[in-house]
Amino acid sequence: MKKMLGKNWAILAMIVALGFVMVACDEGTGDDGIWAESNGDSVKVSNQTKTDLVAFKGSIEKKNLIGGVRAGATNHALKNGSNLGSNPNQFKMIFITKDQYEKGYNSNTAMFTQMYVFWNGNVGDNSKTYTISQYLGGQYEIQIWNTSNYDVEFRVGGIAGPTLGYAQAGMTQTSLRAGAGDYIVYPIFQRINTLRDTIDTVVPRYTNGNAIGWEVEFGNNKNPVSLNLQSALDKMEVQKLGAACVIINNQAESGVRFYQGLIPMVTPGGTYSIMSQQAFTIDMPTAPGGTSFDTSKVVNNFKVSNMGFEASVKDQNDSTTFTLQTDKIYTITVIGSGPERTLAATINTASIQDFVIQEEIAVKN
């Protein structure tokens, strides 16, 4: 009898243990939980750190959970893509550690890092991968001071490098944990241009075109390092986009859409049908070395469409291949009708204007 009871207790213990395992999997601590990859469109993240991370959209709340990304994972599509919405938008993506997630989190949980995400919804290209720098998550502290009127993303190694962190406009101090090493940090200013309905990304630069940045060393230096945007603004001689601005002047019989190749261009407001005029920024390629932008970009895949009918954009020489210069404004004039086969779009690359940023980057008093 005792043997039978002992056996029954053993079986019961196994069942209880199995139940804990199943609950743990349901909570997302297994590979089939929040760490699974999305089977649809979602934000892609490469995690160069040695820490498993969990991502949230905008704030650390259960309803905003996007998914987890394992340490060392590359191009991982976060599981809860449906939380991102079907319409284009931009938001802070906030990360906490696996330990914080499993022990219980709330809106006051200290973040591991955050970054700025541009989500093109169901109507645009979401192929960009957001990379978290390997330097994050160590025992050292970086204090970021951003009292400017621009949101700022801090990238490591180059202006297109992995993200170290993000500081919202007007934030007195944002703290990040970093690991030992020598690296260079570049501030990248970002904000919505409400006048043109574009997203302006500004790299502060010296007059020679090189980006302004800071060298950071942790190891021998154990004190917190402060990165103050004021010092970058004081040194900034050139405030430019590193992009060309293209204005669609629609004189066709109804709305048109503007494409780069197969990708429809979407405004920050989430629209892609252009009724009259709409501006778009076309980013320049990153120059070798990563500290500046190329001054021009060759384009051969601009198109417009009306009622399902397409027309290639041609320049003043009737060519579909032309060159855009950085920090210049170009106008594409659209006329005609798609169904009537009269749709046409022309760009005059010989008649351009300088792009002037509507509002200077400034420190708030």
pLDDT tens digits, one per residue of 80-123: 888 888 776 778 899 999 999 999 999 889 888 888 787 767 65
pLDDT band at 74 (very low <50, low <70, confident <90, very high): very high
243-354: which CATH architecture? Answer: Sandwich (2.60)
Q: What percent of the chain has pLDDT over 70?
A: 79
pLDDT band at 166 (very low <50, low <70, confident <90, very high): confident
pLDDT band at 73 (very low <50, low <70, confident <90, very high): very high
Query: Which has the minimum average pLDDT: 68-72, 91-95, 227-231, 335-339?
Result: 227-231
198 CB-near residues (< 8 Å, 6+ apart): 192, 245, 267, 268, 279, 280, 281
In the chain, where the domains are located: 44-240, 243-354
Mean pLDDT taken over the chain: 80
**What is the reported pLDDT for 280?**
85
Q: Is the pLDDT of residue 147 over 80?
A: no
Q: Is the pLDDT of residue 322 over 80?
A: yes
More confident residue, 181 or 311: 311
The arithmetic mean of pLDDT across residues 330-339, rounded, is 94
> What is the per-residue pLDDT across 4-59, written as a single tens digit (0 to 9) for each?
445 454 444 444 444 433 333 334 334 468 999 998 888 999 999 989 999 999 89
Q: Is the pLDDT of residue 353 over 50?
A: yes
Q: Is the pLDDT of residue 179 over 90?
A: no
**What is the reported pLDDT for 141?**
84
